[in-house]
Amino acid sequence: MSTEKILIIGAGGQIGIELTAKLSEMYGSSNVVASDLKNTKAFPNNPFETLDALDGKALFDIVRKHGITHVYHLAAMLSATGEQHPMFAWKLNMESLFNVLDLAKEKHISKIYWPSSIAVFGPTTPMQNTPQYTVMEPSTIYGISKQAGERWCEWYFKKFNVDVRSLRYPGLIGWKSAPGGGTTDYAVHIFHEALKSGKYECFLSENTALPMMHMEDAIRATIEIMHAPAENIKIRGSYNLAGISFSPKDITAEIKKHIPDFSISYKPDFRQGIADSWPKSINDSEAKKDWGWHEHYDLPKLVENMLVNLKEKVGV
């Protein structure tokens, strides 16, 4: 019998769908409560709760009702959408985090996972092999909210011993779900269009390198950091994760090995400015040292996996 009762907030999103499935495999579906603003067909076997993460009272009631011990708080507004709705992005990303941190401060839950992002870095950050500790002057509201969130997580840990763990994900690429409102979303859309129409118009320029990661690696990293002994988690802000760094030109060359006629054109929009402010590659030696992180996917493996699964399992 599992003693962990998990609540996933934002379970219907790109990460939530895959994390809910993986945690359900590990703990049993009845021990993993999925929640989001609206129900989807994604969780036929899990308890589901309709929840606005800004409603602290409703969140508390759900935690009490299900005897929740661990919360994975994924609801947020991402970089591109956040620039369109800055005040709401700030409200959602910050206030929902406080609601969850306060549950742990009051000892209603014992462990929290909350993701940060490479968006915490900005144009004055060293762009190559960006270290864990460096200049951080994010220029998006999303990045500012994630940076502030990291500091709050560390503060709650130091002041109230709240066991909160966090990763600075790179752009995540998976075949099971669509991304929502990010700057790195092109690296998922490109596969769908390569299979559907053989061509793709990219909203970033051809040499814009960014750190990315296969969703399987990201889910595994999430589960590994949550299961690491507490004394190994030396960083209570958020850990760098490197993943794979590539540009639209690099991923196109790799896709062309499978679909030789695939073509790409470039029409950069406002997301180019966001991408230009982010690191090109990340140093994740602290995650490797503290809790043994190691990624499995390189670019050729990622591209092959995406194309095969989208074709065979999703029918794109």
Q: Which residues bind ligand NAD (CB under 6 A)?
A: 9-10, 12-16, 36-37, 51-54, 74-76, 78, 92, 115, 117, 169, 171-172, 179-182, 184
Q: Does 125 bind ligand AKB (CB under 6 A)?
A: no
Supply 227's token pair: 């299961």
Q: Does 78 bind ligand AKB (CB under 6 A)?
A: yes
Minimum separation from the CB atom of position 20 to ligand AKB (A): 19
- Going by C-alpha positions, the residue among 178, 183, 180, 171 that lies closest to residue 299 is 171
Tell which positions 156-175 bind ligand AKB, by CB under 6 A: 171
CA–CA separation, 194 and 252 (whole Å): 9
Q: Tell me which residue has tokens 């742990």.
A: 104
Question: Over the range 45-62, which residues count as b (16 or more CB within 10 Å of their CB) and which as e?
Answer: ebbbbebebeebebbbeb
Q: Does 277 bind ligand AKB (CB under 6 A)?
A: no
**Which among 72, 113, 133, 142 is annotated as catalytic?**
142
Q: Does 282 bind ligand AKB (CB under 6 A)?
A: no
Minimum separation from the CB atom of position 139 to ligand AKB (A): 13
Nearer residue to ligand NAD within complex by CB, 2 or 32 = 32
Strand order in the sheet with 171-173: 171-173, 210-214, 244-246
* Among ligand AKB, ligand NAD, none, partner that 187 touches (CB below 5 to 8 angstroms by kind): none
Minimum separation from the CB atom of position 161 to ligand NAD (A): 23
Question: Over the range 225-248, which residues count as b (16 or more CB within 10 Å of their CB) and which as e?
Answer: bbebeeeebebbbbbbbbbbbbbb
Asked if 180 contacts 13 with a C-beta cutoff of 8 angstroms, the reply is: yes
Q: Does 35 bind ligand AKB (CB under 6 A)?
A: no
Q: Does 221 bind ligand AKB (CB under 6 A)?
A: no
Q: Which of 177, 184, 247, 277 binds ligand AKB (CB under 6 A)?
A: 184
Q: Please compute, for residue 297, the number of CA atoms within 13 A of its CA located in the half-sphere on the CB side.
A: 28
Strands 210-214 and 244-246: antiparallel
Q: Does 118 bind ligand AKB (CB under 6 A)?
A: yes
CA–CA separation, 3 and 125 (whole Å): 42
Minimum separation from the CB atom of position 251 to ligand NAD (A): 15
> Is 27 one of the annotated active-site residues of the chain?
no
Q: Catalytic residue numbers? A: 142
Interacting residues with ligand AKB (CB under 6 A): 78-79, 117-119, 142, 171, 182-184
